Amino acid sequence: MSMASLASADGYGNKVKQIAARYGIYIAFVVMFVFLSLWSPWFLTFDNILNILRQCSINGIIAVGATLVIITGGIDLSVGAIVALAAVSAASVAHPDSYPVIVPILVGLAVGALFGGINGFIIAKGRIAPFIVTLGMMTIVRGGSLVMSDGRPVINLSDEYNTIGGGYLWGVPLPVFLFIAVVLIGAFLLHFCKFGRHVYAVGGNELAAVVSGLNVGRVKMGVYTLAGLFAGFAGIILSSRVMTGSPAAGAGYELDAIAAVVIGGTSLAGGTGAVLGTVIGTLIIGTMNNGLDLLNVSSYFQQIVKGIIIISAVLLDQYTKNSR
Amino acid sequence: MASEWLLEMVGISKSFPGVRALDDVCLRVRAGSVHALIGENGAGKSTLMKVLNGMYRPDVGEIRLRGEPVQINGLKGALDLGISMIYQELNPIPAMTVAENIFIGREPVYGRSGVVNRRKMNADARQLFETLGLAMNPSARLSSLSVAEMQMVEIAKAISFDSEIIVMDEPTSAITDREVEKLFEIIRTLKAANKAVIYISHKMNELFQIADEMTVMRDGRYIDTQLTDKLTTQSLISMMVGRRIDEMFPKEDVPLGEVVLSVDGLTQGDRVRNVSFELRRGEILGIAGLMGAGRTELVETIFGIRKSSAGRIQIGGQPVSIATPRDAIRNRIALVSEDRKLMGLNLRASVKDNISLINLARYCNLGGVIRARQEVEVARRQIDRFKIKVSSYRQIVDTLSGGNQQKVVIAKWILTNPDIIILDEPTRGIDVGAKSEIHKIMVALAREGKAIIMISSELPDFSQEAVMASATGSH
């Protein structure tokens, strides 16, 4: 074989690798989507797609917050518990004929932002690892929601409140719109604003950010506050959808959110990543759950598959990065 | 068997996507000699050495040891063939001891138990240090050592393999003159033991001091191999860059203006004691002195990275208090730090994002939304002005060469329009061409009326500076 043909074959292989490295996660999603469409006649129906999107929306909203935190090189384990506390707090002021519906919404958001803010404050001022701070906060907040509700779910919520998570607009579930809104807000902050640029700078090289005169503490407070705020929002939607403010809600949601972020290509080392990747990561998890249901795979087995997919996604990412 | 050469690398080529890193390169090294490998950044020296230590497989070419063709399979394979390497970037494990770092992966054990024989390991390390004439405690943790000491540990480790060929990639970039002398003694001992040393450095004086033969590379190609006696700095540099040196460091006079910075009795820790000086517009103040003499500590104190315990700083005649880098930036001071990867750059971000970071608010509307077009335009202007070689302003900084990374740091700080620019070792680890460009940039800035403080351990850097000062701790 001549040198020229060798070189061009090599160039072709590299091009394929580059494309795989850049769009691997999107390609994986499309392949999965096409496969499920062919396999199951129910998969590619309007109702089922809406169903997937609705199921994705709560995890997706939390995952947008987690994306910001993870890009700074941090982690937030408390968001699942914040979902529960926001759900219980909002539900307790959402009984029929008590307050207008805006009140429980503001209460839920405020509770989320408050505890997220406390996380950020301790991490920034106390210089403690985010893992430790948010692990502690997870227990505190979970305990708080149990104390507040006396361990019992808060029921008997107003119809208006129940519309937030259960309602439809133009035949599409409301949570889907709320998810899209949070994604747009997150993407706008991260990719078009000074704040977002500072988030990347802190995660990429914190010392360089300090030397460049950035207020690193304020950036950290910002991302954890937003993560808490979005978790609070997710708590409102969840409690509204199931018409119950449960102190047990949201258990393990923090890990689903982290999984979506990581599958979406954001590195836990910080400094890289994007909201769009997280959206795809969320959709992959949601589509997979749905697909496995349609294929009659037991929910026990689904957990195993989910774990395998998370690890494979990161392996693929590593492999393509190294071969670059 | 009867080959004149211990090592021959013949017709080596290696391509990466979009780049031909090595193109038909040859290197022949004799036993019992020091062979310098020379070239600008990006000339392919490191790639060639990675082929030698088994990290890369060449596309074409042959490697022969004592005339016998060999296949080098990975780092382990290279070590088994008697090739060890001292890397430019240190990879110490800070929480482990000196001896543990040296013998990692080949710790002496009791019988076949897998339990580490700590006493033997420390004794072996002590003996190694003795033969090398180094005073070092084998059970000290790496984290307690200075960068220079860590470098000496790295050198000792490479030698402990008892290899035939030892590659040293910029071994002196982080050590003081005294340790350089020590290293040269070690190299001479290795030579006497009939080993070969391949030595990579940008420092001319060292090369002429220690090398027997020199091979020059440029743009991934082999240029020439010569005995050191037959070479001069002049001829060597023109081989490296294809130009003459006096065109590269032209001397210029810049008129001085009023005093912009005055430092009086500044003290920080025990490295910076009672330092006073004045700096004028248009002045380039050189701070010489050995590494470890407190130069970096001095400028980091001025910049608010370290807290001073005594002393006053005046800017434009007004006393100022600088407690954080934010304060320094507000007072129009810029710091191009010693370690660009540690403090200067976000390696994971694009050239544009790095350049615009400090004063990003200037390119935003009141709501904090970035005016993207303006930001791109500014980044492009800086890239043009400082001749930064990039494929696009979106290129990730990690993928740039050292010289271009340094220019990104300078472009980033100049964008803040500072009055006082501090450059800490701005030419460290970059090639002659880039050094010359950075010198020209400095002179141009001085001409604009900026005041410049420059720290350097490389004396040729001072050939044309207006003033030379020496800050060796107290002063």
In this complex, do A194 and B370 lie within 8 Å of one another by their Cβ atoms? yes
Strand order in the sheet with B259-268: B272-280, B259-268, B310-315, B318-320
d(CA B389, CA B401): 9
Looking only at the bridges linking them, the beta strands covering B451-455 and B284-288 are parallel
Give the per-residue pLDDT at B86.
Answer: 86
CA-based nearest distance B15→chain A, Å: 9
Q: Mind giving me the DSSP string for A246-297?
A: -TTTTTTHHHHHHHHHHHTT--TTSS---HHHHHHHHHHHHHHHHHHHHTT-
In this complex, do B353 and A197 lie within 8 Å of one another by their Cβ atoms? yes
d(CA B54, CA B70): 11
Q: Mind giving me the DSSP string for A9-74?
A: HHHHHHHHHHHHHHHHHHHHHHHHHHHHHHH-TTTTSHHHHHHHHHHHHHHHHHHHHHHHHHHTT-
In the Cβ-directed half-sphere of B252, how many Cα atoms lie within 13 Å? 19
Strand order in the sheet with B467-470: B333-336, B420-424, B451-455, B284-288, B467-470
In this complex, do A10 and B349 lie within 8 Å of one another by their Cβ atoms? no
**Residues A127-177: pLDDT tens digits?**
899 999 999 999 999 999 999 999 999 999 999 899 999 999 999 999 999
Q: Range with the lowest mean pLDDT among A189-198, A212-221, A282-291?
A: A282-291
Minimal Cβ distance to B329: which of A10, A205, A213: A213
Confidence of residue B213 (pLDDT cuts 50, 70, 90): very high
- Is the per-residue pLDDT at A4 higher than 70? no
Q: In the predicted model, what is the mean pLDDT of residues A7-21?
A: 56
Phi-psi region of A256 (alpha: psi -120 to 50; beta: other; left: phi over 0): alpha
**Residues B148-199: pLDDT tens digits?**
888 888 888 888 888 899 999 888 877 878 888 888 998 998 999 899 999 9
Q: Range with the lowest mean pLDDT among A21-25, A127-131, B26-30, B159-163?
A: A21-25
Q: Which residues of B touch A208 (CB under 8 A)?
A: 342-346
- Is the per-residue pLDDT at B475 higher than 80? no
Give the per-residue pLDDT at B144.
Answer: 86
d(CA B233, CA B207): 10
Here the tokens at position A146 are 């149990």
SS3 label, residue A243: coil
**Residues B298-308: pLDDT tens digits?**
899 999 999 88
What was the ipTM of the complex prediction? Answer: 0.84
SS3 label, residue B402: helix
d(CA A73, CA A120): 13
- Is the per-residue pLDDT at B17 higher than 70? no
Q: In the predicted model, what is the mean pLDDT of residues A93-98?
A: 89
Q: Mind giving me the DSSP string for B109-152?
A: BSTTS--B-HHHHHHHHHHHHHHHT----TTSBGGGS-HHHHHH
User: Do B423 and B442 contact (CB within 8 A), yes or no?
Assistant: yes
Confidence of residue B37 (pLDDT cuts 50, 70, 90): very high
d(CA B153, CA B147): 10
- Is the per-residue pLDDT at B290 higher than 60? no
Residue of A nearest to B336 (CA): A211
Contacts of A211 (CB under 8 A, 6+ apart): B303, B305, B325, B335, B337, B343, B344
- Is the per-residue pLDDT at A76 higher than 60? yes
Confidence of residue B399 (pLDDT cuts 50, 70, 90): confident
Here the tokens at position B356 are 């615009």
In this complex, do B348 and A11 lie within 8 Å of one another by their Cβ atoms? no
**Residues A248-301: pLDDT tens digits?**
999 999 999 999 999 888 988 899 999 999 999 999 999 988 988 888 888 888
Higher pLDDT, B442 or A3: B442
- Is the per-residue pLDDT at B472 higher than 90? no
Q: Which residues of A touch B305 (CB under 8 A)?
A: 210-211
Give the per-residue pLDDT at B289.
Answer: 60
SS3 label, residue A233: helix
Confidence of residue B133 (pLDDT cuts 50, 70, 90): confident
Q: In the predicted model, what is the mean pLDDT of residues B120-145?
A: 88
Residue of B nearest to A13 (CA): B17
End-to-end CA distance of chain A: 25
Work out the angle between the directed axes of helices A299-322 and A253-263 (0-180°, nearest 10).
40
Q: Range with the lowest mean pLDDT among B45-54, B239-248, B368-377, B464-473?
A: B464-473
CA-based nearest distance A36→chain B, Å: 36
- Is the per-residue pLDDT at A8 higher than 50? no
Give the per-residue pLDDT at B350.
Answer: 94
Residue of A nearest to B306 (CA): A211
In this complex, do B325 and A211 lie within 8 Å of one another by their Cβ atoms? yes
Confidence of residue B461 (pLDDT cuts 50, 70, 90): very low
CA-based nearest distance A165→chain B, Å: 31
Give the per-residue pLDDT at A1.
Answer: 37
User: Do B130 and B178 contact (CB within 8 A), yes or no?
Assistant: no
- Of residues A46, A49, A61, A118, the one with CA closest to residue A238: A61
Residue found by looking up tokens 């022969």 in the block: B64
* B364–A contact, CB cutoff 8 A: yes
Q: Which residues of B touch A197 (CB under 8 A)?
A: 353, 356-357, 360, 370
> Hey, what amino acid is at B297?
E
CA-based nearest distance A271→chain B, Å: 6
In this complex, do A11 and B17 lie within 8 Å of one another by their Cβ atoms? yes
Higher pLDDT, B251 or A192: A192
In the Cβ-directed half-sphere of B254, how many Cα atoms lie within 13 Å? 26
Q: Which residues of B touch A10 (CB under 8 A)?
A: 15
User: Do B280 and B308 contact (CB within 8 A), yes or no?
Assistant: no
- Is the per-residue pLDDT at A324 higher than 50? no
SS3 label, residue B102: helix
Strand order in the sheet with B60-65: B68-70, B60-65, B7-16, B19-29, B221-227, B213-218, B34-38, B196-200, B165-169, B83-86
For chain A, what percent of residues have pLDDT higher than 90? 69
Residue found by looking up tokens 């890369």 in the block: B56
Q: In the predicted model, what is the mean pLDDT of residues A80-91?
A: 96
User: Do B445 and B452 contact (CB within 8 A), yes or no?
Assistant: yes
In this complex, do B368 and A215 lie within 8 Å of one another by their Cβ atoms? no
Residue found by looking up tokens 């084998």 in the block: B138
Give the per-residue pLDDT at B261.
Answer: 92
Contacts of A319 (CB under 8 A, 6+ apart): none
In this complex, do B348 and A195 lie within 8 Å of one another by their Cβ atoms? no
Positive or negative: CA dihedral A65, A67, A71, A76: positive
Report which listed range, A248-262, B242-256, B394-408, is most confident. A248-262
* B353–A contact, CB cutoff 8 A: yes
Give the per-residue pLDDT at A18.
Answer: 63
Residue of B nearest to A6 (CA): B59
In this complex, do B17 and A324 lie within 8 Å of one another by their Cβ atoms? yes
Q: In the predicted model, what is the mean pLDDT of residues A41-46?
A: 89
SS3 label, residue B247: helix
> Hey, what amino acid is at B129?
F
SS3 label, residue A201: helix
d(CA B168, CA B12): 20
In this complex, do A200 and B347 lie within 8 Å of one another by their Cβ atoms? no
Residues in a beta bridge with B82: none
Minimal Cβ distance to A204: which of B305, B329, B349: B349
Higher pLDDT, B34 or A41: B34
In terms of DSSP H, where are the helices of B388-451? 402-414, 432-447
Picking from B346, B370, B395 by the largest number of A CB atoms within 10 A of its own CB, the best residue to mutate is: B346
Please provide the average confidence, as pLDDT, over all residues in chain B: 85
Confidence of residue A7 (pLDDT cuts 50, 70, 90): very low
Residue of A nearest to B14 (CA): A7
Residue found by looking up tokens 């001091």 in the block: B209
Q: Which residues of A touch B372 (CB under 8 A)?
A: 192
d(CA B346, CA B344): 7
Residue of B nearest to A190 (CA): B369
Q: In the predicted model, what is the mean pLDDT of residues A201-207?
A: 95
Q: In the predicted model, what is the mean pLDDT of residues B100-123?
A: 88
Give the per-residue pLDDT at B434.
Answer: 76
